[in-house]
Structure 1
Amino acid sequence: MTETAPSCSASAPCETTPASQVPPWRRVDRVWLVTLATLGILALLDPPQALPSVTFTLDALWGILPFLLASVLIAAYTKATGLDQQIARATAGQPVRVITLAALFGALSPFCSCGVVPIIAALLAAGVPLAPVMAFWLASPLMDPQMFLLMLGAFGWPLALAKAGAAVAIGLVGGFVTQAVARGGGLTDALRPGVGLTGCAARRSLRPEPVVWRFWTDADRRGTFAGTSRETGLFLLKWLTLAFLVESLMLAYLPADAIGAWLGGEAWWAVPLAALAGIPAYLNGYAAVPTVSGLIDLGMVPAAGLAFMLAGGVTSIPAAMAVFPLVRRPVFALYVALGLGGALTAGLLYQMAGGLA
């Protein structure tokens, strides 16, 4: 890129600052620097772990690449064609129906807590309201049909149905709470500056324009498509790379089974502590099933296991790292509160319903 992001005001046209006038320290991307520094420190302090961490990160990026590319191209296409304005209008009405469908679809989608981030970015950039996005965002990492079948074999019907119901319920509650906050005047702009429409582009989006499906026939729209693809793709790539690297270190130095072994017993604090322990104990995807099954065999109560899985799927540190630079702080805080609160509530309700048997 040869220019920084444009800055606009209501009374002044867009202006750009040449890259040559930007101080050198501001041209260096700090996220990539942190990633490289982390690898360098790891190579010095624990050389045998360096290669496995690099391999894990590359494998995770390769696995998520189709979703990353699809989400970036969809976001760029909707912006270049003007379709984002139509999507925003179409999803603004009938919030109950849209939020319900988003939560149900999230529970059926095969995305993990990091893998869902590119999809969330595309939806928000396309103008989809935050409430249904939040419903999908919370429900998606918690359940999908394959995971349900694995849980059914490992735990039986009660816990498998409880987690499936909790995934949908957390998505629904999250969507409707977000909708209520938005109606009260909060969360008016979910994406951080520099992600999605900003500056002049944001002002242009306020004027209704017809959708131009063949955007490539217009030079300005081609530029919008290319610029959005490049900026969104690089933004997501750098943060997901760092998140996956941190995940590899957490799996190596903070194994979930070691943390979960501390949560055995039937004390009143077992479920709340399990929900909190799910944050550093990164439980994501199908690996959570055998891990929690083993923890229950070691003495963890099923209700605590449920809270442990739910919190680890939504509010884990790597997922939070990938989400934090994408959305504004109030949205991030609401996301964490809904995920952690939902995990705790689901665990306590399961315990009260006799899930210990």
Structure 2
Amino acid sequence: MSDAIQQTEPESFDSSRNFASWTRQRIGSIDRVFLTALAVAAVWLILDLTAAQDGILATGGNLLGIAPFIILSVLLAAYLKATGADGLIAKAFAGNIVQATFLAAIVGALSPFCSCGVVPLIAALLASGVPLAPVMAFWLASPIMDPEMFVVTAAVLGTEFTVIKTAAAVGIGLMGGFTVLLLGGSSLLRDPLIGTASTCGTSAYTRGSKPVWRFWEESNRKASFSKEAKRSGWFLTKWLTLAFLLEAVMLAYAPMQQIGEWLSGAGALAIPAAAVIGVPAYLNGYAAIPLTSGLMEMGLTAPAALTFMVAGAVTSIPAAIAVKALVRLPVFLLYLGIAMSGSVVIGLTYALAI
């Protein structure tokens, strides 16, 4: 009898240990960002069921709203990778870097990418060797304006304000690009990407070979396209889910009516305050239009409203989290610093001009 017990106990112990090891492996294989988002949602549901349900629905709505831009940017980045055109783009930016920075700011202001959807494209550009100066110019200018947003903004806030906002997009892009140029070869700005394994799939890229535009005719390029698209898509989906969820939590408890009233009567502090408030209060370019219109009806000046829209577009919670997940801390801090200070400069310049 005792021999039987001695024989079964080790087997039971080994089974428990194997199960614990299997459980740890399974949990460890689940993405930490995804687990964090689930944890935030679960805790919120426990603490405030009604607000959490509304916030989770808003998160899903934001993800659906931004999905076309994400899909477009992911497919474009994957196409650049699969065809080898990323090296061609790097070569195009390898000439006069001042001209490249000007061009990047203008193209960014007119491109259809939002602050989050542009992330995989930016990752592909940096990985292909494009200098940080034009990339920063494009990155800062891109989320502030696009053709469709121009039409919607003009319909709600007027053509004059919309044209000024477009110019502001180019302006802040140039500020960012030339700030990087002025910093020169600072070691803090070298190798801006966190790492090819943890970014949007910006691993090996093609140099010195002619792009193959019909990539689907070669199995290895088809596999490269599929791998890049999946990795980029998952990268953005998981980070933006967490970002929109955190933003929903903040907006659920932020007294926007009181903030709007205070901002409208802040006087000389309205412009810098608008830059700071733009971070939590800015949802996306289209949701910000009626919000800005409402703030202006409450008495917010046009320069402060412009500052709010410029700063919010670049530094909103989803955008900031996506950027932080992509680049190293010095580049991220520079990005935020230029966005905040640049938006204030733009608002003050507009105030002096009217």
- 1:87 aligned to 89, 94, 108, which one? 89
Seen in structure 2, the aligned counterparts of structure 1 residues 277 and 213 have a Cα distance that, compared at 3 Å, is closer
| Residue 349 (1) aligns with residue 354 (2) | no
Seen in structure 2, the aligned counterparts of structure 1 residues 182 and 26 have a Cα distance that, compared at 3 Å, is farther
TM-score for both structures, normalised by structure 2: 0.81
- 2:52 aligned to 45, 50, 53, which one? 50
Contact kept, 8 Å, 1:255 with 1:281, in 2: the verdict is no
Give the partner amino acid of 1:347. G
Deviation per residue, 1:199-222 (Å, 9 max, x gap) = xx47xx5x6344444555656545
Contact kept, 8 Å, 1:250 with 1:282, in 2: the verdict is no
- 2:117 aligned to 111, 115, 118, which one? 115
Q: Does the residue aligned with 2:281 lie in a helix, a strand or coil?
A: coil
Counterpart CA distance in 1 for 2:255 and 2:285 is 15
- 1:181 aligned to 174, 183, 208, which one? 183
Contact kept, 8 Å, 2:264 with 2:270, in 1: the verdict is yes
Partner of 2:138: 136
Partner of 1:10: none
Q: CA deviation at 1:104?
A: 1.9
Partner of 1:30: 32
Partner of 2:65: 63
| Residue 253 (1) aligns with residue 262 (2) | no
User: Percent identity at matched positions?
Assistant: 51
Partner of 2:75: 73
Q: CA deviation at 1:339?
A: 0.7
| Residue 282 (1) aligns with residue 285 (2) | no
Structure 1 window deviating more from structure 2 (234-243 vs 219-228): it is 219-228
Seen in structure 2, the aligned counterparts of structure 1 residues 106 and 84 have a Cα distance that, compared at 3 Å, is closer
Counterpart CA distance in 2 for 1:255 and 1:130 is 38
Deviation per residue, 1:241-282 (Å, 9 max, x gap) = 112222333333326444222212253322222211211222
Seen in structure 2, the aligned counterparts of structure 1 residues 226 and 147 have a Cα distance that, compared at 3 Å, is closer
Structure 1 window deviating more from structure 2 (295-304 vs 169-178): it is 295-304
Counterpart CA distance in 2 for 1:51 and 1:131 is 42
Contact kept, 8 Å, 2:189 with 2:330, in 1: the verdict is yes
Counterpart CA distance in 1 for 2:152 and 2:202 is 41
Q: Does the residue aligned with 1:179 lie in a helix, a strand or coil?
A: helix
Seen in structure 2, the aligned counterparts of structure 1 residues 24 and 148 have a Cα distance that, compared at 3 Å, is closer
Seen in structure 2, the aligned counterparts of structure 1 residues 66 and 352 have a Cα distance that, compared at 3 Å, is closer
| Residue 331 (1) aligns with residue 331 (2) | yes
Segments of 4+ moved more than 6 angstroms: none
Q: Which runs of 5+ in 1 are unaligned?
A: 1-19
Q: Which runs of 5+ in 2 are unaligned?
A: 1-21
Partner of 1:312: 312
Counterpart CA distance in 2 for 1:288 and 1:75 is 27
Contact kept, 8 Å, 2:127 with 2:202, in 1: the verdict is yes
Seen in structure 2, the aligned counterparts of structure 1 residues 109 and 84 have a Cα distance that, compared at 3 Å, is closer
Structure 1 window deviating more from structure 2 (295-304 vs 222-231): it is 222-231
Partner of 1:263: 263
Seen in structure 2, the aligned counterparts of structure 1 residues 261 and 131 have a Cα distance that, compared at 3 Å, is same
Counterpart CA distance in 2 for 1:339 and 1:313 is 9
Q: Does the residue aligned with 1:286 lie in a helix, a strand or coil?
A: coil
Q: CA deviation at 1:223?
A: 4.4
How many residue pairs end up in the alignment?
Answer: 329
TM-score for both structures, normalised by structure 1: 0.80
Counterpart CA distance in 1 for 2:82 and 2:160 is 48
Counterpart CA distance in 1 for 2:265 and 2:88 is 54
Seen in structure 2, the aligned counterparts of structure 1 residues 94 and 49 have a Cα distance that, compared at 3 Å, is same
Partner of 1:242: 242
Q: CA deviation at 1:176?
A: 2.2
Q: Does the residue aligned with 1:31 lie in a helix, a strand or coil?
A: helix
Counterpart CA distance in 2 for 1:260 and 1:62 is 28
Q: CA deviation at 1:186?
A: 4.9
Structure 1 window deviating more from structure 2 (238-247 vs 222-231): it is 222-231
Counterpart CA distance in 2 for 1:150 and 1:217 is 41
Q: Does the residue aligned with 2:143 lie in a helix, a strand or coil?
A: helix
Structure 1 window deviating more from structure 2 (282-291 vs 147-156): it is 147-156
Contact kept, 8 Å, 2:260 with 2:298, in 1: the verdict is no
| Residue 293 (1) aligns with residue 293 (2) | yes
Partner of 2:273: 273
Seen in structure 2, the aligned counterparts of structure 1 residues 73 and 44 have a Cα distance that, compared at 3 Å, is same
Counterpart CA distance in 2 for 1:149 and 1:222 is 37
Q: CA deviation at 1:149?
A: 4.3
Counterpart CA distance in 2 for 1:332 and 1:345 is 20
Structure that is richer in helix per residue: 2
Contact kept, 8 Å, 2:188 with 2:331, in 1: the verdict is no
Partner of 2:227: 227
